[in-house]
Chains A and B, each alone.
Chain A
Amino acid sequence: MLTLASVLLAVHAAAAPVQKIEFWTFSMKPKFTPYFDGIVRSYEAANPGVKVEWVDFPWDIIQTKLVTRIVAGTPPALVSLNVPWADEFARDGLLQPVDALLERGRYLPGTLQDLTFSGKTYGFPLYSNVAVIAYNTRIFKAAAIPHPPRSLDEQLAFARQIAQRTGKAGLCPALAKIDGLMMQQGLAVIRNGRAVFNSPAHVALIRKLADTYKVGGLLKDSLFAEDNFPAAIDAYKGGRLGMLLAPPTAVGRIAMDARDIYAVTDVAPAPLGPTGIADGGWLIHFGVPAGVDKALLPAVGKFARYLTNDANQLAFAKAASVYPAAARAASDPFFTTVPPNAGAAEKAVVAGAVSMPHSHTLYVAGVTDYDELRRSLVKAVEAGVTGRQDIQQALDQAVAIWNRKLVKQFPAQSVTTKGSGTKTVASAAVSQKRPTGGPNAQAVTVFVPDPDVVTNSAVMMAVAP
């Protein structure tokens, strides 16, 4: 009888359909192959009847591959994305909300807010990063700077001091991402569907950058390039830069590539802006593409929760030198305790962890062709910072370009003029359709003391039709 039951069970098990879960990451091979292979093996062992397939693509092609597979009706069950991609895919209906599959309490609240668009959450947070300030103590001493900077104003003042006293550059901000810097400093980029980055406060910010540039305080190499990090770290390693705003991994690179500079390097947490948002946040998560079989969703959710659980996030974060998005993993002693005789690299991990709860992915969400608009903003900022054009005039021109495009995208809004050429919107249709509560509103009250500030979630509120 027992034998018969065993045989029947075996036959049933053999006949039971195998649930196949395909998940995609980008740029993880070969360094993290053992990690992901281990995840797959252990999950399959604990969940008989589930077959997990891991696929890794280079970061620059994963979007095209994903769109192609969704259109073909064979999307992967989970795909690793960054927040701007997720926002765009969600707007195009290419991602599914995962609220029903999430265990919200597991993750740092900020990470879930980053993934919340129009009141729905679109991913399982995996990891993020945050910047620390690595500074050359020898240059600081020569410039008579007593302590690391505690605000952007101090950063720029120190950069000027370094340039004037040592002839070296002090700072290399990522000015191609000036929109993020403005938002971190509490200055709105868009309000109610119209560009507003030409206010006196914005002009003052650019003027401070221009003054610093003029005396040689900003590193000129690739200052406005889309990715100026390689130039910045090269300059720091060469002893030509006083402060490097970078994730803790960069300090590890300095340790490997330039021992002499590492020996005189110290670190400090990067100053939070007046918004309380830390610099350098860039959340990576797993989203569920549209078209994934509804019957498979519970299994997908279970696997996604496993992929992003505390133990796995902690292991990955340690291996990749990033910060986990899971709350318990983020409070592991690895991130909170400086080991004895720690060097700058170990100190950087803890310094970054201090800022991690304040980390957000700063970008403007919900605007079509945003990259193109951002380019005209960067061009205006470049013209203003380098002194090739009056700052107010350059920003006014960029605002005009933005609003010509935005008015087509959000035509229901009437434009009124306020202040020195600042165009803002007394919105009718859009403001009526704004959600009045939920995570978006919370994002504004929690992280944005100034109502003008626009973070990704806030912009969704501001522009969502």
Chain B
Amino acid sequence: MSRHTLAAWLFLTPALLVLAVFSFWPVGFGSYLAFTDYSLIRPTHWVGLDNFRYIFENEMFVTGLRNSVVFLLMVPFVQVGALALAVLVNNQLPGIRLFRAAFYVPVVTTVSVVGIMWGFMFHEQGALNYVLLLFRLVDAPVGWLSHDGIALFAIMFVTMWRGLGWYMVMYLAALQAVPADMQEAAILDGANRWQRFWKITVPMLRPTIAVCTILSVLAALKAYQEVDVLTQGGPMNSTFTALYYAYDQGLKHLKLPRALAASFIVSLLCIGIALLCLRWLKPKHR
């Protein structure tokens, strides 16, 4: 090992120790407990795949897992939307700072406030239905959160709305790091705006796109806060997500091994999809 490598490891050691205690150990121990009948009141026994069999036979977990995968549909929309917003607010226009701040507000708004606000919006007598009825776009109020075919998509929209500002800021930072001389050279070569965007900006943003996409995929698979504040899994269990099931079992009903088994599955899914994203979105040139 070279001196440089040794020094690097030396500097990394404190952080690794903290990670080991507060991340690796809980994850490892939690994963082990998913294979046991752990409870606070009885001795723990190894039960193999019993917890996994239980949750896969459970309609709510299976629905939750399917919904978590459906949640991934949100990822392209949030990424394209955030990129478009970033390009928009990257222009030096009057009042542009106000727009940047406005788009970022949902990111810093707590989920409870978001839940109350969108609860009003999605209410059968709420603002959204009022506008739709006013312009005669619908004949009767839409059950945004009370119809089992719509509620999940309403929640996905809220999650997307919350995340948009966060990714916009990341793209904005990346856009501002794109060297101006490359754009100028392209202009001299006669490239139009659209060509410059596709041929220069997007390739330069590829590492940021990869990071944002992975974060967005993980956020989609881990969705549960919005579910908790807006529908608690209803109507007809249609908005249960895999992680909401874990929360419901673990913290509401103290069935910790089932919750851990569900979390284990979600973690595997997260790791698998993150690896795929890394493979697909890896920058071709360094």
Contacts and interface: CB of A to CB of B under 8 A. Distances in A.
Given A64-B254, A376-B59, A224 B234 contact: yes
Interface stretch (A65-73, A244-252, A303-311, A347-355): A65-73
A168 B184 CA distance: 65
Interface in B230-276: 231-237, 252-255
B41 A70 contact: yes
A37 interface: no
B143 interface: yes
A120 interface: no
A67 B60 contact: no
Interface residues of A, number: 27
| Majority DSSP secondary structure for residues of B touching A | loop
Nearest to A404: B57
Interface string B45-66: 0000000000000111000000
A270 B58 CA distance: 38
Contact of B234 (A93, A225, A401): A225
Contact of B236 (A226, A240, A369, A379): A379
Contacts of A68: 40
Nearest to A231: B123
A336 interface: no
Contacts of A379: 236-237
A240 B125 contact: yes
Interface in B193-246: 231-237
Contact of B41 (A71, A369, A372): A71
B125 A375 contact: no
A220 B143 contact: yes
A223 interface: yes
A224 B233 CA distance: 11
Interface of A: 63-64, 67-68, 70-71, 92-94, 220-226, 240, 369, 371-372, 375-376, 379, 382-383, 388, 401
B31 interface: no
A290 to B, nearest CB: 9
A371 B253 contact: yes
Contacts of A93: 41
Contacts of B124: 220-221
Contacts of B125: 221, 240
A223 B60 contact: no
Contact of B40 (A67, A223, A382): A67
A225 B252 CA distance: 16
Contacts of A369: 253, 255
Given A71-B40, A371-B253, A382 B123 contact: no
A383 B255 CA distance: 28
A118 B58 CA distance: 30
Contact of B58 (A223, A372, A388): A372
- Identify the 5 closest CB pairs spanning chains A and B, nearest first: A67-B40, A379-B236, A382-B236, A71-B40, A226-B232
A70 B254 CA distance: 15
A225 B236 contact: no
Nearest to B54: A369
A369 B253 CA distance: 8
Residue of A92, A222, A388 with most chain B CB atoms under a 10 A cut-off: A222
8 contacts: A63-B254, A93-B41, A224-B234, A369-B253, A369-B255, A372-B58, A388-B236, A401-B59
Contacts of A71: 40-41
